[in-house]
Structure formats: structure tokens, C-alpha cells
Structure 1
Amino acid sequence: MRALTYQGPYRVRVENKPDPTIEHPQDVVLKVTRTAICGSDLHLLHGLIADTRVGCTFGHEFMGVVEETGREVKTLRKGDRVVVPFNISCGMCFYCQRSLTALCENSNPCSDLASGVYGYSHTTGGFEGGQAEYVRVPYADVGPLKVPEDMEDEEVLFLSDILPTGYQGAEMGEIQAGETVVVFGCGPVGLFAMKSAWLMGAGRVIAVDHIPYRLTFAEQYAKVETVNFKEVGDVVMHLREMCGGRGADVCIDAVGMEAEGSTMHKMLGLAKLEAGAPTAINWSIDTVRKGGNVSIIGVYGPPWNLINIGTAMNKGLTLRMNQCNVRRYMPRLLEHIREGRIDAKGIITHRFPLEDAAHAYHLFAQKRDNCIKCVLVPHGHA
């Protein structure tokens, strides 16, 4: 098959790799029909994540058609069209039984952190990703969601990660009717967090970024107020003043560690010490009102982050964070899409055939051509 492969920092290419096979009786092999590039993939591209091995295939946002099933698979059969959560979960462990599928202890038993993840580093289990023509899907009765026949691939593709992640970010903020929500980051996850904040009854949503075209897109797509933090001096004071001096009720960090990577962070990443600049977390802590909620869905890594925990304690804040427990949200979000409350495919700005994946990565990473979200088409034409 053809698949994207990592060749070292800033270098990927599409080449031939062996077709995936059934390795366990609960596996299926999926023919990938759509896959996407995520901001988290840029951390891998830029060499900031430990144990990212040359030759591995990225991609944790994908969907497709079942090509082959293991003998113990009960809910899927050849020809079924499914969308697959980015986190790999067994369905049986302590955490999966509590719907905390992002913390599954069987798909990544070597770690006490997140579950296994498709197409990430070997710290998340070493599973091959979906930016390929075919991919192996373990625990196939647990994660994949069948797609209704009357829905298009691109309508549901983002149920794999970024839509549930944005939704969980809003949910963890415990937004009450009429409250003011500030979302840091106008990337795809931030956009879905904004849309979800409205669904949960927010009275006002403010988006913060520094890239003009992303701010404009947020205004048009999510119907939010926007702030360019490079144009306002002290962004915390500016936001607090916008909120009557008290601060926002809820702040959502949809940024995480810098995808571009400052010189310092690149050096730390190469030394495998990268954890991420906590700028957005600290802005959230400083911007939210006393007694408010901070929700963290941006990706950070261990072992350290310089977070202003003293201010959070003295303001009586509630901080919640997690990798998204994708599977628990998929059915409900599918209905939101079907009923027209969320236009998930509306964030797609670019489509490329899989063969052009290297070009797509660099366009997305460098934020060229007003790029918000890139989708790759492994079979046929983009």
C-alpha cells in the first residue's frame, strides 16, 4: 500500500509499505477513504515528541470501509463504513468501563498516561496511523462507529477527534446559560469548542488568536467576537475589561504546546524534554473570574510545565483537562451534525490526494493559503 512515512524532523514522504494484516482476532483492516492532518501531527513532524520513529505512519483522524475482519469481531462486517476514534480502547478495563476511553490501560500498558493512539509516537503504543491506503484497527467492536448511509464521509470524519475534543472542552467548562466563554486558539479544535459553547447555552463567546485569517474564519464560522492578542498589548487586561472587569466565566485552552516550536522548545524537544509553553493555560488562569472554570484540551506533554498554579488556587478555580474520551460523544455529535446544528465539514479548506501529503503538511504547518484544515484522499481524486 501507499502510506505517509516519517523521515526525521520536518521530513515526510509517501512510499510503499506492507499492507496491514489481522494480528489479533478482534482486529479489522480498514480501507481508508478519508484522513486528516491534525495540529498534533505537527509536533511529530517537528521532532518534538519522544520516540517518534523513522518510517512510522502518522494519522489519527480517519474513516473508511471494512476490508477484512478478525474471527472474534461481532459488530462489523466487510463493507461497513465506519469512523474511528483516535484513542484505542479495549472496552473492558477499569477506565473503559467508566467511559474514560482516553485512559485505557490495555491499549498502552507501558504508560500510566494516555491510551494507545493511532499514528503517534511509540510512547502511545506504536500503532500505525491512518494516513495510508489501509490501516489495522484493534478492538474493532469497541471504537468504530458505523456511518449512516445517507451521510457523506466528510460530514462525519471529524467525529474521530477534533469535534468530540472541542465538545468535551466546552463540557468540562460546565458552561451555564448566559455565561461568557473565552476560547484561546482558532484552529479546528478551538472552532468546535466555540460551536459547542453555543450549544451549551453560552451568552457570549470570545475567540483569541494572532493570525488574521483564522480570526476572520472564527467570526464567520462560529459567530464569535475575536481578539488578536498581538494588537491589544496586555491580552489578559483587555479580555477582563471586555468582561466588565471581573473576567470570563469559562476559559478554554485549545492551543497546547506551540506547534511551530520556539527555538528553545525545539532544543528541548530534541532533548526529549518538550512539554509545551504554558502561555495559553496561564492566560486562561489570569483571564477567568474568581471561582471560574478553566478547561484544557490543548495537547501538552510531560515532564514539566511552568503553570501559575498559585493564582489558580487563590482564585478558587476549577481546572479540568484530559485527552478526549471520543467514543462517548460520537452518537450525540452525529445527531448534531445530522440536524444541522454543527457543520463539521465546513472547516475543510484544502483537500489533497495522499500522494501530495508532504506538500499538505508543509502548507498546514506554515499556515499558507488561509489553511484551516487539510483532508487527504487515499483512493481516487481529492
Structure 2
Amino acid sequence: MKALTWQGKRSVSVEMVPDPVIEKGTDAIVRITSSAICGSDLHLYEVLGPYMKAGDILGHEPMGVVEEVGSEVRNLKPGDRVVIPFNISCGHCWMCKQGLQSQCETTQVHAHNSGASLFGFSELYGSVPGGQAEYLRVPHADYGPIKVGHELPDERYLYLSDILPTAWQGVKYADVPAGGTLAVFGLGPVGQFASRVGRHLGQRVIAVEPVPERRRMAERHGVETIDFTKDIGDQLRDMTDGRGPDAVVDAVGMEAHNSPVGAFAQNAVGLLPDALAKKAMETAGVDRMTVLHAAIDSVRRGGTVSLSGVYGGTASPMPLLTMFDKQIQLRMGQCNVRRWTDELLPLVEDPADPLGVMDLKTHEVDLDGAAAAYEIFQKKEDGCIKVVLKP
């Protein structure tokens, strides 16, 4: 089969690789019909290369049609249409039963003291082949896949794999009071959905984003937008009676712009041999912190900062004095996808499309065009906000 593989920093290519096969009774083989490129894929493309190996299959936002199931899978059959959550969870361990599927005890990656295994996301999360491919082996298919109908287009359902529940969890974690104000930093795919979720839940939403095309998309959904500037905290306080927003969702993460120290650290680590680079990332601060620090500065006293963007540094500096003095609550973590499925499925199937799932994709390419699409997405060229691959 064809699959998009990682070959090095800023280098991906489509290669012919062996077709996946059933390895355990709880596996399924899914023929992929759509697979999106995620902002987290760009971290692998740029920063997390020391944890990748040439030939690793990328992608963790797939959906498709079941081709084959293992002997222990009773909930699916060939021909069923499914969305595949990006985290691999068993559904029956203690963590899964608490709604913490991203911490699944059955698939935790103990070698790196990491949470649940993820599709297509480096040795940190199990080196499980991903879904930017023609076919995908799905472990724990007796629990993970989300079965959907055949009537609606893929884009109605595709984002249930990651970015929509990630945004939903981020806003839920933000815990905005009734009638309150939510600020969202970053209007990539997760930030777009977080902004729309906030509006859907009745909140005033102010989104902060330097790219005009991304601001315009958010404005179509009733979101107030402003550019990111060095005095962004003062701007947000001026817009919220001098206090700041009740909560902030950071939908940017480790590769924030305007972070020269973090950028230098990431570039320096990228020059090291893999073993030394891993050690540096596991002991040093390599995140670009501009957005997170701006969120902490901007949020009102007693407010909440919710992190949906991915961070990877172990010793990244935090303004603890400010956080303590302002009595800030900080919430974060990989999304527990299956925890939110029952709440989100009716919304994506609603003919009114209240979360605007049909207004996100800006680019659609076949698998052979994936390498060029990665570059366009990373550079934010050609108005690129969300790329969907069609294997």
C-alpha cells in the first residue's frame, strides 16, 4: 500500500509499504477514505525528529471503511464506516472508566513514561503506524472506533478523530462561567473549533491570531478577533472591564511565533545527534512560551488557562509567582476522545451544522500531494488552515 512516511526534519514522502494485517483478536483493518493533517503532525515534521525513525508512517486523524476484523471484535463488521480516535484506548481499564482514555493503562508507553499510545506519533507514544495511508491496523477496535452512517460526507465526521473533541475538551476544561468571556489564542484548526464551541455554549469569544485569513474564518462564526501584539494582555483587559477574560484556551503550543529563546533552543536541539537531542528535550526547556505566558498574563485573577496546544519541554520556564498571585487554575492534557463522542456526534450530524464542521477544510489533496501540503500548512501559505488527504 501507499503511505506517507517521515524521512527527516521537514522531509516526508509517499512510499510503498507492506499492507497491515490482523495481529491480535481485537484488531481491525480499515481502508482509509480521508485522513487530515494535524498541527501536531507539524511538531513531528519540525521539532520532535529525535523520536522518529525514517519510514515511520504518519497521521492520526483518519476515517474509513472496515475491511476485516479480529476474532474478538463484536461491535464492527466489514463494510462499517468508522472514525478512528487518535489515542488508542481499551475502554475497560481504570483510567478509561474515569473518562481518561488518553491515559489508558493498557496502552501506556512505559518506556517513555507516556500516556496512551497514539497513531503515527513517534516512539514517545508507541511508534504505532499512522493513518495517512491507504490502510490502517486499528488495535482495540472492540472499543475505539466510532461507528457512523454512510449518508453524510466524510468531513461531517472526520474531525471527531482529534481536533473537534480536543477543542471541546479545551473549552470544557476552561470552565467559563455563564455569560463569561473566553479568549482563544491561535486560530489553527483546534482554535477555530474551540472558538465555535465557546460560541455554541453561549460564551463571548475573543480570538487572538496574527494571520488575517484565519481571523476572517473565525469571524464568520460570530467570533471577535484581534491580532497578536506585544501588548495583547492590555488589549484583552481593555475589552473585558479591565479584568481580562474569564478563561483562555491556548491552541498554539510549543511552536509559537515571537519566541526567540524557544526557537533557538529547538534549532540547537535539532543539530544534535538523536541520543543527545532526546536527552536535551527530556531535561531542558525547549518550548516556545510566548503564547502560554501571554495567556497567563491576560486571564483574569481567579481564571483558568486551558492548554490544548502540545508542549514537549521538561524544564520550560513558568511564571509561578504570577500564577500563584493571580490564583490561576491550569488544565491541560491529550484529549480523551471517546469521553466526548456522545456529546459531539449529534452536533456533527445536525443539518444546521452548529459547529461549522463543513467550514474548516481549505485544501484537499490525494496522498501523492501530501508532502507539498505539509510544507504549505507549516508555512501558512495559500490560506491553508486544514488539509484533508484522500488516499
Question: Under TM normalisation by the shorter chain, which class is it?
Answer: over 0.9
| Structure 1 residues 141 and 17: CA distance shift in structure 2, 3 A | same
**Paired position in structure 1 for 2:294:** 283
Q: What aligned pairs does 1:11-30 form with structure 2 within 5 A after superposition?
A: 11-30=11-30
Q: What residue ranges of structure 1 are gaps of 5+ in the alignment?
A: none
Query: CA separation in 2, counterparts of 1:198 and 1:334?
Result: 18
Asked if 1:251 is matched to 2:252, the reply is no
* Letter aligned with residue 257 of structure 1: M
Q: CA deviation at 1:259?
A: 6.7
- Give the SS at the match of 1:289: coil
Alpha-carbon contact 1:257-1:298 (below 8 Å) kept: yes
Out of 320, 336, 357, which is 1:325 matched to? 336
Asked if 1:131 is matched to 2:132, the reply is yes
* Letter aligned with residue 104 of structure 1: C
Alpha-carbon contact 1:176-1:200 (below 8 Å) kept: no
* Letter aligned with residue 384 of structure 2: C
**Paired position in structure 2 for 1:307:** 318
- Which one is further off, 80-89 or 297-306? 297-306
Query: CA separation in 2, counterparts of 1:358 and 1:337?
Result: 29
| Structure 1 residues 305 and 280: CA distance shift in structure 2, 3 A | same
- Which one is further off, 59-68 or 311-320? 311-320
Alpha-carbon contact 2:72-2:142 (below 8 Å) kept: no
Q: CA deviation at 1:195?
A: 0.9
Query: CA separation in 1, counterparts of 2:173 and 2:113?
Result: 22
Alpha-carbon contact 1:294-1:319 (below 8 Å) kept: yes
- Which one is further off, 126-135 or 171-180? 171-180
Which whole-Å deviations, capped at 9, do the CAs of 1:65-111 have from their partners, x for residues lacking one?
A: 00111111110011100001100001122211211001112213424
Q: What aligned pairs does 1:61-210 form with structure 2 within 5 A after superposition?
A: 61-110=61-110, 111-202=112-203, 204-210=204-210
| Structure 1 residues 322 and 35: CA distance shift in structure 2, 3 A | same
Asked if 1:377 is matched to 2:376, the reply is no
| Structure 1 residues 76 and 259: CA distance shift in structure 2, 3 A | farther
**Paired position in structure 2 for 1:213:** 213
Q: CA deviation at 1:47?
A: 4.1
RMSD across aligned C-alpha pairs, in angstroms? 1.5
- Give the SS at the match of 2:190: helix
* Letter aligned with residue 65 of structure 2: V
**Paired position in structure 2 for 1:361:** 374
TM-score, normalised relative to structure 1:
0.94
Query: CA separation in 2, counterparts of 1:150 and 1:142?
Result: 23
| Structure 1 residues 322 and 24: CA distance shift in structure 2, 3 A | same
* Letter aligned with residue 93 of structure 1: C
- Give the SS at the match of 2:114: coil
* Letter aligned with residue 360 of structure 2: I
Query: CA separation in 2, counterparts of 1:353 and 1:149?
Result: 21
Query: CA separation in 2, counterparts of 1:155 and 1:109?
Result: 32
Q: CA deviation at 1:269?
A: 4.6
Number of residue pairs aligned between Structure 1 and Structure 2: 374
- Give the SS at the match of 2:58: coil
Q: CA deviation at 1:2?
A: 0.4
Alpha-carbon contact 1:155-1:345 (below 8 Å) kept: yes
Query: CA separation in 2, counterparts of 1:281 and 1:93?
Result: 33
* Letter aligned with residue 80 of structure 2: D
* Letter aligned with residue 238 of structure 1: Q
Alpha-carbon contact 2:114-2:124 (below 8 Å) kept: no
Query: CA separation in 2, counterparts of 1:107 and 1:166?
Result: 23
Which whole-Å deviations, capped at 9, do the CAs of 1:20-54 have from their partners, x for residues lacking one?
A: 00111100011000001001101111143541111
* Letter aligned with residue 4 of structure 2: L
Asked if 1:342 is matched to 2:355, the reply is yes
Which whole-Å deviations, capped at 9, do the CAs of 1:259-305 have from their partners, x for residues lacking one?
A: 78824322235523344212222111111111111111110114122
TM-score, normalised relative to structure 2:
0.92
Alpha-carbon contact 1:155-1:343 (below 8 Å) kept: no
